Amino acid sequence: MDEDISQSDWMKHYSDEGASTGGDGTKGQVADLKFGEPAETIGESGTGVLQITPDTVVYVKKNGTETAANGVFAVVALKDKAMTGAPADEVAPISGGGWKWMAPDGETIDVGRGESYNVFVDKFNNEDPVQPGTYQRRLRAFDLTPA
């Protein structure tokens, strides 16, 4: 039995509002971005500007040998592009930054929860600052509990 589910099935069965709405029936809190649209952010320590574009989400219950501790992994592929003449990087969780998954009811889940820290894909394992005029493919994984 194939236990992986598609993004459309996940949204159909586990979400009644969609992503990043705050769970309160309103549209996005800061900007009404559609999946795949880029957003710009200041790099770590205020250096450079990154354009971050999420372009793929895959939901799987198992990643190779690791099984999602909370039920399912949401794996998000990103394209991080440097937008200024200075290298830029995402703010690390240890510095007060990092990614969070927001459920339709408003619950936030940090990257690294459960077994998500064990999700790796070599092509998307870039963590160095993005140099001017270039981009990197990155991956962020979340270990979620199905609704």
* 42-56 mean pLDDT: 88
How far apart (Å, rounded) are the C-alpha atoms in residues 19 and 52? 16
Provide the residue ranges of all domains of the chain, joining segments of one domain with +. 7-144
Phi, psi of 79, rounded to the nearest 5 degrees: -120, 115
Answer with the residue of higher pLDDT: 15 or 4: 4
Q: Where are the alpha helices (DSSP H) in 15-145?
A: none
Based on the number of CB atoms within 10 Å of its own CB, is 78 exposed (0-12), middle (13-18) or buried (19 or more)? buried
Of all residues in the chain, the percent with pLDDT exceeding 70 is 73
Q: At CA 114, angle to CA 112 and CA 120, rounded to 5?
A: 55
Q: Where are the alpha helices (DSSP H) in 2-147?
A: 7-14
How far apart (Å, rounded) are the C-alpha atoms in residues 35 and 53? 8
Q: What is the pLDDT at residue 27?
A: 42
7-144 to CATH, choices 2.60.40, 1.20.1070, 2.30.30, 3.30.70: 2.60.40
Q: What is the pLDDT at residue 51?
A: 92
* Residue 61 pLDDT level (bands cut at 50, 70, 90): very high
pLDDT, tens digit, 9 for 90 and up, residues 81-117: 999 999 998 877 666 667 888 888 888 888 878 888 8
